[in-house]
Amino acid sequence: MKKKGGGGDEGGSWMDTYGDLVTLLLTFFVLLYSMSSLDQAKWDVFVRSIYPNGRPGEKSAEQIVINGEVTNESGSGSIGDSKAPENEVNTEDPKDLYLQIARALNDAGISGVEVSRGQDYTFVVFKDKTFFNGDSSVLTPQGQQTLDVFCNALSGAAENLSQVNIMGHTAQGDPERANNPRNDRMLSVMRAAEVCLFIQGRGIISPDKLVSIGYGQFHPIAGNESADGRAKNRRVEILLIDQGAKIRGLDEYFQEYYSGANKDKTIVTSGVPENIQKEENGASGESAQTPESAAEEAPAGGGETQGDAASPTVSVENSGENANP
Protein backbone atom coordinates (compact mmCIF):
# COMPACT_ATOMS: atom_id res chain seq x y z
CA MET A 1 0.00 0.00 0.00
CA LYS A 2 1.41 3.34 -1.06
CA LYS A 3 1.96 6.22 1.39
CA LYS A 4 0.14 9.52 0.87
CA GLY A 5 2.23 12.59 0.02
CA GLY A 6 4.69 10.59 -1.94
CA GLY A 7 6.46 11.75 -5.10
CA GLY A 8 9.37 13.50 -3.35
CA ASP A 9 11.69 12.80 -6.25
CA GLU A 10 9.33 14.53 -8.66
CA GLY A 11 9.14 17.65 -6.41
CA GLY A 12 12.94 17.97 -6.22
CA SER A 13 13.28 17.85 -10.00
CA TRP A 14 10.81 20.73 -10.40
CA MET A 15 12.73 22.93 -7.95
CA ASP A 16 16.00 22.35 -9.78
CA THR A 17 14.48 23.53 -13.06
CA TYR A 18 12.99 26.61 -11.42
CA GLY A 19 16.28 27.50 -9.75
CA ASP A 20 18.17 27.23 -13.02
CA LEU A 21 15.69 29.58 -14.71
CA VAL A 22 15.98 32.22 -11.98
CA THR A 23 19.77 31.99 -12.10
CA LEU A 24 19.83 32.49 -15.86
CA LEU A 25 17.51 35.50 -15.64
CA LEU A 26 19.68 37.04 -12.94
CA THR A 27 22.79 36.47 -15.03
CA PHE A 28 21.08 38.04 -18.06
CA PHE A 29 20.14 41.23 -16.19
CA VAL A 30 23.60 41.50 -14.64
CA LEU A 31 25.08 41.24 -18.12
CA LEU A 32 22.77 43.97 -19.41
CA TYR A 33 23.77 46.24 -16.55
CA SER A 34 27.46 45.62 -17.06
CA MET A 35 27.18 46.44 -20.77
CA SER A 36 25.48 49.76 -20.02
CA SER A 37 28.59 50.95 -18.14
CA LEU A 38 31.23 49.28 -20.28
CA ASP A 39 34.76 50.62 -19.93
CA GLN A 40 36.15 51.15 -23.44
CA ALA A 41 39.69 50.27 -22.43
CA LYS A 42 38.61 46.99 -20.81
CA TRP A 43 36.45 46.20 -23.81
CA ASP A 44 39.44 46.72 -26.13
CA VAL A 45 41.50 44.37 -23.98
CA PHE A 46 38.70 41.81 -24.14
CA VAL A 47 38.40 42.11 -27.93
CA ARG A 48 42.16 41.82 -28.42
CA SER A 49 42.19 38.69 -26.29
CA ILE A 50 39.67 37.13 -28.69
CA TYR A 51 41.25 38.52 -31.88
CA PRO A 52 44.98 38.92 -31.17
CA ASN A 53 45.64 39.89 -34.81
CA GLY A 54 42.83 42.43 -34.92
CA ARG A 55 39.18 42.09 -35.77
CA PRO A 56 38.44 40.84 -39.30
CA GLY A 57 38.37 43.69 -41.84
CA GLU A 58 39.67 46.24 -39.33
CA LYS A 59 42.32 48.74 -40.45
CA SER A 60 45.28 49.55 -38.27
CA ALA A 61 45.48 52.94 -36.57
CA GLU A 62 48.06 54.20 -39.05
CA GLN A 63 45.72 53.47 -41.96
CA ILE A 64 42.70 55.43 -40.75
CA VAL A 65 42.70 58.94 -42.22
CA ILE A 66 39.78 61.32 -41.70
CA ASN A 67 39.83 64.72 -43.48
CA GLY A 68 43.58 64.54 -43.81
CA GLU A 69 44.10 63.84 -40.10
CA VAL A 70 45.56 60.53 -38.97
CA THR A 71 43.51 59.36 -35.99
CA ASN A 72 43.60 56.48 -33.56
CA GLU A 73 41.41 53.42 -34.11
CA SER A 74 38.56 54.78 -32.02
CA GLY A 75 38.56 57.98 -34.12
CA SER A 76 38.82 60.19 -31.07
CA GLY A 77 42.23 61.77 -31.42
CA SER A 78 45.42 62.13 -33.39
CA ILE A 79 48.46 59.91 -33.31
CA GLY A 80 51.25 62.05 -31.96
CA ASP A 81 51.44 65.18 -34.04
CA SER A 82 50.66 63.44 -37.33
CA LYS A 83 48.36 65.83 -39.15
CA ALA A 84 48.31 66.53 -42.84
CA PRO A 85 49.15 70.24 -43.05
CA GLU A 86 46.39 72.39 -44.50
CA ASN A 87 47.46 74.54 -47.46
CA GLU A 88 51.11 73.67 -46.91
CA VAL A 89 53.38 76.21 -48.58
CA ASN A 90 56.62 75.24 -50.32
CA THR A 91 58.86 78.23 -49.59
CA GLU A 92 61.14 77.40 -52.53
CA ASP A 93 58.38 77.08 -55.13
CA PRO A 94 57.55 80.32 -56.99
CA LYS A 95 53.98 79.05 -57.41
CA ASP A 96 53.50 79.26 -53.64
CA LEU A 97 55.38 82.53 -53.26
CA TYR A 98 52.25 84.69 -53.23
CA LEU A 99 50.89 82.73 -50.24
CA GLN A 100 54.23 82.87 -48.46
CA ILE A 101 54.43 86.65 -48.87
CA ALA A 102 50.78 87.24 -47.90
CA ARG A 103 51.04 85.13 -44.75
CA ALA A 104 54.30 86.73 -43.67
CA LEU A 105 52.92 90.26 -44.08
CA ASN A 106 49.68 89.34 -42.36
CA ASP A 107 51.51 87.72 -39.43
CA ALA A 108 53.57 90.90 -39.06
CA GLY A 109 50.39 93.01 -38.96
CA ILE A 110 51.19 94.87 -42.18
CA SER A 111 48.31 96.09 -44.33
CA GLY A 112 47.82 97.86 -47.65
CA VAL A 113 49.27 95.08 -49.81
CA GLU A 114 47.80 92.97 -52.62
CA VAL A 115 49.52 89.74 -53.67
CA SER A 116 48.49 87.87 -56.81
CA ARG A 117 49.64 84.78 -58.69
CA GLY A 118 49.68 84.73 -62.49
CA GLN A 119 50.55 81.88 -64.81
CA ASP A 120 54.31 82.22 -64.36
CA TYR A 121 54.75 85.23 -62.09
CA THR A 122 53.83 86.79 -58.76
CA PHE A 123 52.55 90.38 -58.66
CA VAL A 124 52.72 92.45 -55.45
CA VAL A 125 51.20 95.91 -55.01
CA PHE A 126 52.20 98.07 -52.03
CA LYS A 127 49.55 100.76 -51.78
CA ASP A 128 49.71 104.47 -51.01
CA LYS A 129 52.05 105.31 -48.12
CA THR A 130 53.26 101.79 -47.32
CA PHE A 131 56.88 102.81 -48.06
CA PHE A 132 56.98 106.59 -48.43
CA ASN A 133 55.36 109.77 -47.21
CA GLY A 134 53.96 112.17 -49.81
CA ASP A 135 56.55 113.69 -52.17
CA SER A 136 59.35 111.77 -50.48
CA SER A 137 61.63 108.97 -51.59
CA VAL A 138 62.90 108.23 -48.07
CA LEU A 139 61.75 104.85 -46.79
CA THR A 140 59.72 105.28 -43.62
CA PRO A 141 60.34 103.00 -40.60
CA GLN A 142 57.13 101.18 -41.51
CA GLY A 143 58.38 100.82 -45.08
CA GLN A 144 61.67 99.35 -43.92
CA GLN A 145 59.95 96.78 -41.72
CA THR A 146 57.56 95.88 -44.53
CA LEU A 147 60.49 95.27 -46.88
CA ASP A 148 62.25 93.23 -44.20
CA VAL A 149 59.24 90.92 -43.94
CA PHE A 150 58.91 90.81 -47.72
CA CYS A 151 62.58 89.88 -48.20
CA ASN A 152 62.40 87.12 -45.60
CA ALA A 153 59.39 85.63 -47.38
CA LEU A 154 61.10 85.99 -50.76
CA SER A 155 64.47 84.50 -49.79
CA GLY A 156 63.48 80.84 -50.08
CA ALA A 157 62.31 81.13 -53.70
CA ALA A 158 64.77 83.81 -54.85
CA GLU A 159 66.98 81.34 -56.71
CA ASN A 160 63.96 80.17 -58.71
CA LEU A 161 63.19 83.65 -60.05
CA SER A 162 64.57 85.01 -63.31
CA GLN A 163 63.75 88.68 -62.76
CA VAL A 164 62.40 91.07 -60.13
CA ASN A 165 60.91 94.33 -61.45
CA ILE A 166 60.26 97.17 -58.99
CA MET A 167 57.95 99.85 -60.42
CA GLY A 168 57.27 103.22 -58.82
CA HIS A 169 54.14 105.31 -59.47
CA THR A 170 52.97 108.74 -58.34
CA ALA A 171 49.60 110.49 -58.24
CA GLN A 172 48.60 113.77 -59.88
CA GLY A 173 47.98 116.08 -56.94
CA ASP A 174 45.94 118.63 -58.91
CA PRO A 175 43.56 117.08 -61.47
CA GLU A 176 43.58 120.38 -63.37
CA ARG A 177 47.36 120.66 -63.58
CA ALA A 178 49.93 118.03 -64.43
CA ASN A 179 52.83 117.43 -62.06
CA ASN A 180 56.21 118.88 -62.87
CA PRO A 181 57.28 116.32 -65.51
CA ARG A 182 60.93 116.08 -64.54
CA ASN A 183 60.46 115.81 -60.83
CA ASP A 184 57.39 113.60 -61.14
CA ARG A 185 59.47 111.11 -63.10
CA MET A 186 62.40 111.48 -60.72
CA LEU A 187 60.22 110.84 -57.68
CA SER A 188 58.84 107.59 -59.06
CA VAL A 189 62.29 106.47 -60.25
CA MET A 190 63.91 107.22 -56.89
CA ARG A 191 61.18 105.42 -54.98
CA ALA A 192 61.62 102.31 -57.12
CA ALA A 193 65.41 102.59 -56.77
CA GLU A 194 65.20 102.86 -52.97
CA VAL A 195 63.13 99.68 -52.76
CA CYS A 196 65.51 97.97 -55.20
CA LEU A 197 68.57 99.01 -53.18
CA PHE A 198 66.99 97.73 -49.97
CA ILE A 199 66.32 94.31 -51.51
CA GLN A 200 69.80 94.21 -53.03
CA GLY A 201 71.31 95.09 -49.66
CA ARG A 202 69.74 92.02 -48.11
CA GLY A 203 71.75 89.81 -50.47
CA ILE A 204 68.91 87.36 -51.11
CA ILE A 205 68.95 87.61 -54.90
CA SER A 206 71.54 88.27 -57.59
CA PRO A 207 71.70 92.03 -58.36
CA ASP A 208 71.54 91.38 -62.10
CA LYS A 209 67.98 90.11 -61.64
CA LEU A 210 66.81 93.38 -60.06
CA VAL A 211 65.25 96.10 -62.25
CA SER A 212 63.83 99.42 -61.00
CA ILE A 213 61.50 101.51 -63.17
CA GLY A 214 59.67 104.79 -62.61
CA TYR A 215 56.40 105.55 -64.41
CA GLY A 216 55.54 108.85 -62.77
CA GLN A 217 51.82 109.63 -62.94
CA PHE A 218 51.34 108.03 -66.34
CA HIS A 219 50.11 104.56 -65.34
CA PRO A 220 47.10 105.45 -63.14
CA ILE A 221 44.66 102.77 -62.04
CA ALA A 222 42.05 105.25 -60.76
CA GLY A 223 41.02 108.87 -61.26
CA ASN A 224 42.99 111.60 -59.46
CA GLU A 225 39.87 113.64 -58.66
CA SER A 226 39.36 112.00 -55.26
CA ALA A 227 41.66 111.24 -52.35
CA ASP A 228 40.84 107.56 -52.69
CA GLY A 229 41.81 107.56 -56.35
CA ARG A 230 45.10 109.31 -55.67
CA ALA A 231 45.87 106.82 -52.90
CA LYS A 232 45.39 103.94 -55.36
CA ASN A 233 47.65 105.55 -57.95
CA ARG A 234 50.41 106.30 -55.45
CA ARG A 235 51.95 102.83 -55.22
CA VAL A 236 54.98 100.56 -55.66
CA GLU A 237 54.58 97.32 -57.61
CA ILE A 238 56.94 94.34 -57.60
CA LEU A 239 56.79 91.77 -60.40
CA LEU A 240 58.48 88.43 -59.60
CA ILE A 241 58.97 86.34 -62.75
CA ASP A 242 59.58 82.58 -62.45
CA GLN A 243 62.81 81.01 -63.64
CA GLY A 244 62.40 79.71 -67.17
CA ALA A 245 59.31 81.82 -67.90
CA LYS A 246 59.14 83.82 -71.11
CA ILE A 247 59.73 87.49 -70.34
CA ARG A 248 56.86 89.56 -71.70
CA GLY A 249 56.23 93.25 -71.98
CA LEU A 250 55.31 94.87 -68.66
CA ASP A 251 52.04 96.12 -70.13
CA GLU A 252 50.90 92.50 -70.52
CA TYR A 253 51.45 91.83 -66.83
CA PHE A 254 49.65 95.08 -65.93
CA GLN A 255 46.69 94.19 -68.11
CA GLU A 256 46.37 90.69 -66.68
CA TYR A 257 46.55 91.87 -63.09
CA TYR A 258 44.29 94.91 -63.25
CA SER A 259 41.73 93.17 -65.46
CA GLY A 260 41.19 90.60 -62.72
CA ALA A 261 42.49 87.70 -64.82
CA ASN A 262 44.57 86.36 -61.93
CA LYS A 263 42.30 84.15 -59.82
CA ASP A 264 44.77 83.53 -56.99
CA LYS A 265 44.75 86.89 -55.27
CA THR A 266 45.22 87.79 -51.61
CA ILE A 267 44.62 91.17 -50.00
CA VAL A 268 46.53 91.68 -46.76
CA THR A 269 44.27 93.63 -44.42
CA SER A 270 45.92 93.40 -41.00
CA GLY A 271 46.46 96.63 -39.09
CA VAL A 272 49.80 98.41 -38.83
CA PRO A 273 51.62 97.42 -35.59
CA GLU A 274 51.40 100.05 -32.88
CA ASN A 275 55.16 100.13 -32.35
CA ILE A 276 55.71 101.13 -35.98
CA GLN A 277 53.27 104.02 -35.68
CA LYS A 278 55.04 105.22 -32.53
CA GLU A 279 58.43 104.97 -34.22
CA GLU A 280 57.24 107.08 -37.15
CA ASN A 281 55.67 109.69 -34.87
CA GLY A 282 58.37 109.94 -32.24
CA ALA A 283 61.59 107.99 -32.47
CA SER A 284 62.51 109.22 -35.94
CA GLY A 285 61.87 112.84 -35.03
CA GLU A 286 59.78 113.35 -38.17
CA SER A 287 56.16 114.40 -38.40
CA ALA A 288 53.90 111.55 -39.51
CA GLN A 289 52.05 113.67 -42.05
CA THR A 290 50.47 111.69 -44.84
CA PRO A 291 49.78 112.61 -48.46
CA GLU A 292 46.10 113.05 -47.67
CA SER A 293 46.47 115.00 -44.40
CA ALA A 294 49.12 117.65 -45.06
CA ALA A 295 51.89 118.29 -47.56
CA GLU A 296 55.48 118.05 -46.41
CA GLU A 297 57.19 121.39 -46.15
CA ALA A 298 59.76 122.03 -48.85
CA PRO A 299 62.83 124.25 -48.44
CA ALA A 300 62.47 127.83 -49.61
CA GLY A 301 64.85 127.32 -52.50
CA GLY A 302 62.66 124.59 -53.96
CA GLY A 303 65.52 122.07 -53.91
CA GLU A 304 65.54 118.51 -52.66
CA THR A 305 64.84 117.98 -48.96
CA GLN A 306 67.57 116.17 -47.10
CA GLY A 307 65.58 113.54 -45.25
CA ASP A 308 68.42 111.04 -45.37
CA ALA A 309 72.04 111.50 -46.42
CA ALA A 310 71.90 108.36 -48.54
CA SER A 311 68.35 108.89 -49.77
CA PRO A 312 67.66 112.22 -51.52
CA THR A 313 64.05 113.30 -51.84
CA VAL A 314 62.06 115.43 -54.25
CA SER A 315 60.25 118.30 -52.58
CA VAL A 316 56.53 119.07 -52.73
CA GLU A 317 57.09 122.18 -54.80
CA ASN A 318 59.01 120.19 -57.38
CA SER A 319 56.85 117.13 -57.89
CA GLY A 320 53.31 118.41 -57.41
CA GLU A 321 52.10 115.09 -56.04
CA ASN A 322 50.59 116.79 -52.99
CA ALA A 323 49.34 119.90 -54.75
CA ASN A 324 45.75 118.97 -53.91
CA PRO A 325 45.77 116.58 -50.96
Same domain (yes/no): 239, 294 = yes
Question: How far apart are alpha carbons 323 and 325 in whole angstroms?
Answer: 6
Whether 167 maps to a domain, the answer reads: yes
What's the start-to-end Cα distance of the chain, in Å?
135
pLDDT for 29 equals 81
Q: How many C-beta atoms lie closer than 10 Å to residue 250's C-beta?
A: 16
Predicted pLDDT at 50? 60
- pLDDT for residue 188 is more than 90: yes
Number of domains in the chain: 2
pLDDT, the chain, mean: 72
Report the C-alpha gap between 112 and 292 in whole angstroms.
15
In this structure, is residue 24 part of a structural domain? no
Verify that 308 and 271 share a domain, yes or no.
yes
**What residues pair up with 302 in beta bridges, in sequence order?**
none
Percent residues over pLDDT 90 in the chain: 34
> DSSP states of 43-70 as a string?
HHHHHHHH-TT-STTPPPGGG-EETTEE
Are 179 and 155 in the same domain? Answer: yes
Q: Do 99 and 83 fall within a single domain?
A: no
Residue 76 and residue 151 in one domain: no
Whether 239 maps to a domain, the answer reads yes
Q: Which residue has the higher pLDDT, 32 or 217?
A: 217
Please say if the pLDDT value at position 46 is more than 80.
Answer: no
- pLDDT tens, residue by residue, 90-148: 777 888 899 999 999 999 998 889 999 999 999 999 988 889 988 889 999 999 999 99
Residue 290: exposure state from Cβ atoms within 10 A (0-12, 13-18, ≥19): middle
Q: What is the pLDDT of residue 129?
A: 84
Asked whether residue 83 falls in the same domain as residue 182, the answer is: no
Averaging pLDDT over each range in 194-208, 253-267, 272-286, which range is the top one?
194-208
Q: Which domain holds residue 80?
A: 63-87
CA 271, distance to chain mean position in Å, is 14
Amino acid at 297: E
**Cα–Cα dist 60/54, whole Å:** 8
In the prediction, which pLDDT does 312 show?
A: 40
Q: Do 168 and 243 have their domain in common? A: yes
The pTM (predicted TM-score) of the whole model is 0.58
Cα angle 194, 196, 201 (rounded to 5 degrees) comes to: 95
Q: What is the CATH number of the domain that holds 130?
A: 3.30.1330.60
Q: Both 116 and 243 in a single domain?
A: yes
